[in-house]
Amino acid sequence: MDDQQRLTHPSQGQVNMQNVMQGYDGSYGQGDPSEQRKQEIGDVLQQIMTITDQSLDEAQARKHTLNCHRMKPALFNVLCEIKEKACLSIRNTQEEEPPDPQLMRLDNMLIAEGVAGPEKGGASTASTPSPAASGGQTDSAIEHSDYRAKLAQIRQIYHTELEKYEQACTEFTTHVVNLLREQSRTRPIQPKEIERMVGIIRKKFSAIEMQLKQSTCEAVMILRSRFLDARRKRRNFTKNATEILTEYFYSHLSNPYPSEEVKEELARKCGISVSQVSNWFGNKRIRYKKNIGKAQEEANLYAAKAASAASSQMVGDPSSPTGSSNYSLPSSQAQMPGQGGMYPMNLNGGESYPGGDNSWELEDQD
């Protein structure tokens, strides 16, 4: 149905012909007044419809004429009503759009990560990656706070940008609404049409907003992966922890394979995880074998320390260094039969090290 038809359609074109009549002052001259009115309305409509075919100057002149036409107010109201109906039919097809699943996913993620929604006060509980293998509770705490600080930064940037977008959207909407209201004085614009326009603007801005959310999610993902990658966050163990582990290693050189129970005890003493203890012993055994000469010096050093500690204990010196010699570890775990002492090697590279019963280290040496 074209515009011409719509204007004459029984249900739409004759929307409110009283309006047209209101603009008519009845001074049309002779003949059938009804026919004359129809003729005149037809002429005016024809002029409106063909206005776009004319040159700019002609169109401007014609527009001026039409604006000054005595039937203009009446026609204006009719056109408004027709347009309103047309707009409503368009609206009905556009409303009730389901929420974008992608946007929902992004929103959920941002809420879960503590970027959107209420701030997770001091906790970052659910969202903080667990740097399990980073070594030590202190380091862990530092990493947590570091992660929180960076997440807070992302959160702040996100909210600032979001605010900017919302402000820009509101400003632009207000501007367009004002413009349309201004124009509604000269062309038929209904409030519902303005509403529709506002909806379109909001939709455009929500697309930008989605991009912002997408970028924020990516930033959070990168942050998480960086903190979760333990290799990047490798920290050397504390001097004390290394000493405890090394001392245990050399004191059980004949069989440096601590049981799970011992590993747990060592982990507790060193403030590291059991898997870190396992890693440490794994590395230590390999590197010990690879560089046995240097390791021997280290072994002698620890043996000397142990010897002095043992002699102090024997004379009942209460001020003797306790160090790792105070392990409450089951001695049967790691020591070979016949090795009663804590340190099964002597200072001369004697029985247990390296020429002693350290079969594990001799198995596959070149």
**Cα–Cα distance between 358 and 147 in angstroms, integer?**
46
Binding mask 182-221 for DNA (x = CB under 7 A): ----------------------------------------
Retrieve residue 136's tokens: 């030590």
Stretch that binds DNA, among 5-13, 127-135, 207-215, 301-309 (CB under 7 A): 127-135
- By CB under 7 A, residue 104 contacts DNA: no
- Contact present, 344 and 252 (Cβ < 8 Å): yes
Site for DNA in 13-52 (CB under 7 A): none
Rounded CA Rg of the chain: 43
Distances (CA, A) of 91 to 78, 176, 193: 20, 19, 9
Query: Of 216 and 324, which CB lies nearer to DNA in the complex structure?
Result: 324
Q: Closest Cα to residue 81, out of 26, 161, 157, 7? A: 7
Residue 31 falls in which region: left (phi positive, over 0), alpha (psi -120 to 50) or beta: left
The residue within the footprint of DNA, chosen from 216, 276, 324, 358 (CB under 7 A), is 276
First-residue to last-residue Cα distance in the chain? 95
- By CB under 7 A, residue 268 contacts DNA: no
Q: How far is the CB of 247 from DNA (least distance, A)?
A: 14
Q: Closest Cα to residue 135, out of 249, 262, 279? A: 279
Buried b (16+ CB within 10 A) or exposed e, 158-176: beebeeebeeebeeebeee
The residue within the footprint of DNA, chosen from 124, 134, 335, 339 (CB under 7 A), is 134
Site for DNA in 225-254 (CB under 7 A): 230-237, 242
Query: Of 198 and 230, which CB lies nearer to DNA in the complex structure?
Result: 230
- Contact present, 220 and 158 (Cβ < 8 Å): no
- By CB under 7 A, residue 282 contacts DNA: yes
Q: How far is the CB of 125 from DNA (least distance, A)?
A: 22
Query: Of 216 and 251, which CB lies nearer to DNA in the complex structure?
Result: 251
Q: How far is the CB of 96 from DNA (least distance, A)?
A: 48
Biggest CA-to-CA distance, the chain = 141
Query: Of 279 and 326, which CB lies nearer to DNA in the complex structure?
Result: 279
- By CB under 7 A, residue 360 contacts DNA: yes
Stretch that binds DNA, among 113-121, 169-177, 212-220, 286-294 (CB under 7 A): 286-294
- Contact present, 360 and 353 (Cβ < 8 Å): no
Q: Which residues sit at the interface with DNA, rule CB under 7 A?
A: 133-135, 230-237, 242, 257, 272, 275-276, 278-280, 282-283, 285-287, 289, 360, 364
